Structure 1
Amino acid sequence: MAASVVSTCGRALRCNGMLRRWAEFRHSSDGAALQKLSVETGDTEERIIIPRKKTWDKLAVLQALASTVNRDPTASHYMFQDDPYLIPRTTAEFKLFSLSKESGCNAAKYVFNTSPHLFQTDYAEPSIPCLMPETLQPQIEGVCEAALEELIQLKRVKSAVDMFDQLLQSGTTVSLKTSNRLLDLLCFYGDREPPRDDQLEESEQEDMVAHQSAPAGQLHKASNFVRVWRENNNAERIFNVMAERNAPSFCAMIRGMVKYGAYTKAFDMYTELVNSRLTADVHAFSALISAAPEVKEKYSEKWDLIKELLQQMVEQKVQPNLLTFNAVLKSLRRCGALSKLCALQTLSEMKALNIEPSLATFDHLLKIFYKSASSARGQTEIIFEVLDEIEGKQFVVHDPDDVNFFPDAMRVCLDLKDVELAYRLHKVKEMGNNWKLEGNPYQQSTYYGRFFNLLCMMEHIDVILKWYKKLIPSRYFPNSYAMRDLLQALDIGSRLDLVPQIWKDIKQFGHRYKPDLVDEVLVLMARDIQTPEVQVSFADCALDIKSLYETREMRKLPLEWTASALGNITILLSRAGKSEEAWRMLELFKKNNRVPSNQVMNEFLDTAKQSNNKVQAVNLVKMAAEFALPTTANLVKRVMEEFELSEEQKKTLEDLEAESGDNSNDSDREQK
């Protein structure tokens, strides 16, 4: 009986242990909760080793779900899904929608934070404190250092400066820590009030003005707006009146001066720091390295100054970081022939210090080795080495210049005319979350525009159309140049039958009133004779284009009738058998003081012959005589041979032929 009880208890304990271990196995992250059991000699007890637990990211479930869904190329950008009726169709609408939505969010945030008393009731379940209104109004009254710290925390630049002055006037000594925090605030914002959430910074306002007025090729240059370090500003004044100054005080001034263009003053401040037997931090050295090309003229002098700063970092035992080396490479872009060799030395130094390069590092390398299209063709190995290095990797932003890599790398691919290289680059961009480093809308448009341009030049038309459906308009709103590249690719690939379909997209993307693009569409459709079905679609497209010219005067649009546009539309309508519409186009020649070509007259005569319309044929000869065309005699001959005319019509044609002959003789005598 006792043995039976012991056996039953033993089975129960083992069962309980198995259940416990199974529960641990289910809750473990690596499935290794059941470890080897150690059994000691003469003892049957089991010892369980608890595995290490894995802490999952808060977004792990959402990321897992997102990985199961592919992007829909026919859908618009996710930021436009809230307002389907306002989905943009052009680049201009995209910018307007994006800025409007961001402005609305910032305005709501401003009201939310400046009037928190209007949002006292919290309906959220559960309540999330970080989503509640922030306290943006000062709570500490009186003149004291605590009030000054609160103003600095709230980024009240002017109020903080006034409070600092009041403390000095009252004889109160401000601590070094608080003074340095005030210096940081002043140097970061350039001694100006930071913009509110519902306002744009001055640089962004300049950027918007530049985007509205500057040509497309100068938008990027116009956006590089830099504020100026004002003479004798509050930062310099407070720095000079500080009773005590340490290294962070000098470093804040150096960074602020470099940020706002006072490069010579920054180096003077660094000299004063060294004379005070203090050591600058890595951020101050990085700022000085980026300013080195601004204070020296010769390439060798610029590089010597950079090496001197790096040597001083070694002497002062300041460890460089990624931003330091990126600043070196960025400055080397302005060092001429020295830049290539020195850039490779810089990379070797980064490897020696085990500093992983970022995309900005590779971007600076590309700009050093591929400064123009001609240099790109001469130096082809660096871009391949860069892609070998970054393939299969995911990147996050470590440097503000990281977002410049993909557009600049695609420029190199375009200059090299290497579509396979472009595919490799695009694969890297699409991997993981690398798409987050596409940059602003202008950089995204530049990247996809160069990619699509390269495809149109180098790929087969079927591949081009596949990418066209994949990228446009879900990721890229093509400009008129991209649509012209596509039309030329259709021409090379003998797929002109798709021109009417592309014309619909041209209208949707807001390029219908571009004269060069409209002429390109008409020229391609009118150049060769197609099948009857295609000619009918061409004629419908031509009538659609004709309607744009008819509404030109009412809408004050830049389209004006040219002889080429009138002639091509007339030819397209004639080939489709639309003789009445074609004749009305011929009448527009006279109305707009344009002269039709010989091809236009012959094409219309072919249409009149197919319908056996003798009246239109005779009227065509009359119109040719009115324009005094040299081909009038040939038209008379064709009409008399190819049509059964009445005696009256023959007499009319003979008179026109004689009149045209006299006019030609008179013109010959005038020329002699």
Structure 2
Amino acid sequence: MAAPIRCFCACSKNVFSPLLVKSKHVHLTTIALIKEVQTKEKIVIPKKTKRDSLTVLKMLSQTVGKDPTAFPYGYIDDPYLIPRTVSERRRFYLSKESGKRTARYVMSKYPQLFQAYQHDKPRIESYHLKTGEYTSQEPSEMALLERIIGRDVTEAVAMHKKLLDAGVKVSLSVNNELLDLLCYYDSQDPPSEFHDIDSIPEEIKELGEEEAVTQEVEVKEENQRWKDGNEAEQLFGSMEEKDSRSYNTMIRGMVKHQAFGKAFHLYNEMQEKDIKTDVHAYTSLVHAAAFIRYDHGQKWQIIEQLLKQMQLEGVRPNLLTFNTVLERLLRMGGKGRQKAVPLVSEMKAIGVEPSLGTYGLLVNIFYKDNLPPTDMLYDIMDTIEGQHFTIQHKSDVFFFKNAMDVCFKLKDVELAYRVDELMNTKENYRLLGDNYLQNIYYSKFLHLICSMDGPENMIAYYGKLVPSVLYPNSTIYIELLRSLETAMSYSTIPAIWQDISNYGQRYRQELVNTILEVMANAVELDSEVKEEFVKVARDVMKAFEESLTKRDTPLRWSASNLSHVLIIFIQGQDLKLARQVLQIFQQNQIIPSPGVVETFVDACMRIKNKDMAYDILKLAVSNGLTLASSLSQRIKTDFDLSDVDKKRVEDMLMEADLI
């Protein structure tokens, strides 16, 4: 076997090599750095963060801004189907939901026609209709739980009775599950999503639509009230073994279905038996306290006793508890103001963070018409400005609407801007509420800007809000036009009228009168704006004609709006159209004002059109205006009339006995 080969450097020790020295120096430095790193703390690589399937989409959505010119995403992308008024928007959503329910009804009525989707994989349970068939038919706890999960109250009660008849002892946990179901639905089956015509009582069928709805609501409310000896009470009384969950469930069910006295009676029984009440039952009792006493002081005394008892038992109130107390204080007038702020301070002291609805309830408590003014909203905004909120309580969606209501009443546009900035912070806009609440919020916000801010901000916010989130009503448009008139900013009025027409407001009498008045009173206009005003006035005249066939209450001409149209045409030097307006005066037997007549004559004299001057003179004479004589003298003097023309003027006056 051959010896291993060894390599040696054939350098003499006395030979100086800068390259070798440098390499050696680098090597030593690297070793020193490694040792230095090893002496420090070790680098810990964090574990992978678990994220849901929408995390990437959420991050991408934050990189895209809102398009103020786009309609809401929920609408079908079809110009003929996009709603353009508040009522149309409501009908759109109702129609969309009605279509979904109709589809589900057809599938439930004729399931044999929809067998193909049964084999889809993966199976999505929410797409599959309930067949009403259960896998367990023999009496057992498993069969009972299956019916409880399916929220089938009638079948669950029947199965429970079968178990008892068979001598089977039902466990405490299963009894509690059944008790939960019975208390939640008041021992009745959940309301059906569909209503067959055959299931509607004959007495309701015979009523009109509105009366039938009212009758159905009254029956529904009556059925939702707790009945003595119902299935829940029978089950609770028959249970040999009961725990705190059983009692707490009964209390919550009784309060939910307005058996407030019974709930407190059961609570007293729990106190006597030393059974612990949970936070949810206490919250329900706080809600019920307002219905067992009439005096505000007595109501607060009961609520205070409940809160102290919670403290003694070591039950920590949650957000729902505090918000429920604030809801009760909302109806206590001055006492509500007195107790609300200390309550929120106590809330923060025990580590319960207020939700947006908590601050909304404070706004409602402190801003009532019968109470003196306060600065509570300013303090709230100083506290929560720039924060991000998520939905935690049912009242969260009312904060922005209520806050904007206060800003509108105070006429404080700067405070309104702060509220709107908070709404646009991150995803707070999701707490604006439903379509109705959004419309109130944006309507009052834009109305306040129009009345209290300059034209620049007014037009800027109008462009942001319309039509993406708001369809202004006629009141907002009138305020907008008045603000433009005050600021002498007339160039945007033609575009405003186009929006008025697009969003279903072109047949509003007061709005039409306002825009004509603003355009007629405009001064210092350039020729382009005057031409645009003429186009708007022509379209307004067209709207008057259309309203005769399209509206039950058509637009009506008056002396003022006809005069405004006439002035607009005169200012735009379109006397041909002005002459048509004179005919409308005559057709509707409307008497023009002397000022309008003088203005028209001046325009005729500027262009030396004596035929038009004859028309206005004829109108003045036929309506018996006192200025007819002076008007005839002006026409004779300022126009170079022949003897025949002078005779024509004199004949007009003689016919009216003015000579």
Short-chain TM bin: 0.7 to 0.9
Distance 2:35 2:568 in 1: 81
Distance 1:625 1:174 in 2: 101
Deviation at 1:164, TM superposition (A): 4.2
Indicate which of 127, 143, 152 corresponds to 1:156.
152
Distance 1:550 1:83 in 2: 29
Distance 1:478 1:96 in 2: 17
Deviation at 1:493, TM superposition (A): 1.7
Q: Is the 8 A contact 2:509 2:556 kept in 1?
A: no
Q: What corresponds to 1:445 in structure 2?
A: 439
Q: Does 1:550 align with 2:545?
A: yes
Q: What pairs up with 1:272-671 in 2 under 5 angstroms?
A: 272-372=269-369, 375=372, 378-380=373-375, 382-529=376-523, 530-563=525-558, 564-657=560-653
Q: What corresponds to 2:55 in structure 1?
A: 60
Per mean C-alpha deviation after superposition, the further-off stretch among 634-643 and 479-488 is: 634-643
Indicate which of 63, 70, 84 corresponds to 2:65.
70
Q: Is the 8 A contact 2:357 2:399 kept in 1?
A: yes
Match for 1:354: what amino acid? G
Deviation at 1:111, TM superposition (A): 6.8
CA RMSD in angstroms comes to 3.5
Per mean C-alpha deviation after superposition, the further-off stretch among 501-510 and 225-234 is: 225-234
Cα 1:199–1:35 change in 2 (3 A) is farther
Distance 2:579 2:265 in 1: 80
> 1:567 is paired with a residue of what secondary structure?
helix
Cα 1:110–1:354 change in 2 (3 A) is farther
Q: What pairs up with 1:248-263 in 2 under 5 angstroms?
A: 248-263=245-260
Per mean C-alpha deviation after superposition, the further-off stretch among 578-587 and 501-510 is: 578-587
Residues 395-435 of structure 1 show CA distances to partners (whole Å, capped at 9, x for unaligned) of 11111111111111122222333323222222222122212
User: Aligned pair count?
Assistant: 604
Distance 2:651 2:430 in 1: 76
Distance 1:634 1:236 in 2: 94
Q: What corresponds to 2:116 in structure 1?
A: 118
Match for 2:638: what amino acid? E
Deviation at 1:236, TM superposition (A): 5.0
Q: Is the 8 A contact 1:513 1:558 kept in 2?
A: no
Residues 193-236 of structure 1 show CA distances to partners (whole Å, capped at 9, x for unaligned) of 43556789xxxxxxxxxxx99xxxxxxxx9xx977515447455
Per mean C-alpha deviation after superposition, the further-off stretch among 91-100 and 430-439 is: 91-100
Q: Is the 8 A contact 2:632 2:649 kept in 1?
A: yes
Distance 2:159 2:641 in 1: 103
> 1:547 is paired with a residue of what secondary structure?
helix
Q: Is the 8 A contact 1:407 1:446 kept in 2?
A: yes
Match for 1:386: what amino acid? I
Cα 1:542–1:259 change in 2 (3 A) is farther
Distance 2:108 2:391 in 1: 29
Cα 1:572–1:138 change in 2 (3 A) is same
Cα 1:193–1:449 change in 2 (3 A) is farther
> 1:98 is paired with a residue of what secondary structure?
helix
Q: What corresponds to 2:13 in structure 1?
A: none
Per mean C-alpha deviation after superposition, the further-off stretch among 291-300 and 394-403 is: 291-300
Deviation at 1:310, TM superposition (A): 1.0
Higher-Rg member (1/2): 2
Distance 2:188 2:233 in 1: 14
Match for 1:352: what amino acid? A
Distance 1:287 1:267 in 2: 10
Distance 2:35 2:531 in 1: 77
Per mean C-alpha deviation after superposition, the further-off stretch among 529-538 and 112-121 is: 112-121
Deviation at 1:240, TM superposition (A): 5.8
Cα 1:255–1:567 change in 2 (3 A) is farther
Indicate which of 93, 96, 119 corresponds to 2:91.
96
Distance 2:283 2:7 in 1: 80
Cα 1:355–1:627 change in 2 (3 A) is same
Cα 1:243–1:536 change in 2 (3 A) is same
Q: Is the 8 A contact 1:539 1:576 kept in 2?
A: yes
Distance 2:108 2:427 in 1: 32
Residues 463-518 of structure 1 show CA distances to partners (whole Å, capped at 9, x for unaligned) of 11111111211122222222222212211221123212101101111111221111
Q: What corresponds to 1:217 in structure 2?
A: none
Cα 1:108–1:470 change in 2 (3 A) is same
Per mean C-alpha deviation after superposition, the further-off stretch among 66-75 and 638-647 is: 638-647
Q: Is the 8 A contact 1:186 1:234 kept in 2?
A: no
Distance 1:67 1:57 in 2: 17
> 1:539 is paired with a residue of what secondary structure?
helix
Q: Is the 8 A contact 1:407 1:443 kept in 2?
A: yes
> 2:491 is paired with a residue of what secondary structure?
helix
Indicate which of 247, 268, 273 corresponds to 1:271.
268
Deviation at 1:60, TM superposition (A): 2.8
Distance 2:434 2:101 in 1: 18
Cα 1:113–1:150 change in 2 (3 A) is farther
Q: What corresponds to 1:147 in structure 2?
A: 143
Distance 2:47 2:107 in 1: 41
Deviation at 1:171, TM superposition (A): 5.8
Distance 1:193 1:624 in 2: 78
Deviation at 1:651, TM superposition (A): 3.3
Residues 600-656 of structure 1 show CA distances to partners (whole Å, capped at 9, x for unaligned) of 323332333333222222232222222223333343233233323333443343354
Gap runs ≥5 in structure 1:
6-17, 19-33, 40-45, 201-211, 214-221, 664-672
Distance 1:531 1:85 in 2: 37
Distance 1:3 1:257 in 2: 96
Cα 1:404–1:618 change in 2 (3 A) is same
Q: Is the 8 A contact 1:255 1:284 kept in 2?
A: yes
Match for 2:118: what amino acid? Q
Deviation at 1:326, TM superposition (A): 0.8
Per mean C-alpha deviation after superposition, the further-off stretch among 324-333 and 91-100 is: 91-100
Q: Is the 8 A contact 2:226 2:254 kept in 1?
A: no
Cα 1:599–1:143 change in 2 (3 A) is farther
Distance 1:438 1:95 in 2: 17
Deviation at 1:157, TM superposition (A): 3.2
Q: What pairs up with 1:143-292 in 2 under 5 angstroms?
A: 143-165=139-161, 167=163, 174-195=170-191, 228-229=224-225, 231-232=227-228, 234-235=230-231, 237-239=233-235, 241-244=237-240, 245-292=242-289
Q: Is the 8 A contact 1:90 1:508 kept in 2?
A: no
Match for 2:532: what amino acid? S
Deviation at 1:276, TM superposition (A): 4.7
Deviation at 1:307, TM superposition (A): 0.6
TM (norm. structure 1) is: 0.80
Distance 2:452 2:55 in 1: 41
Match for 1:307: what amino acid? E
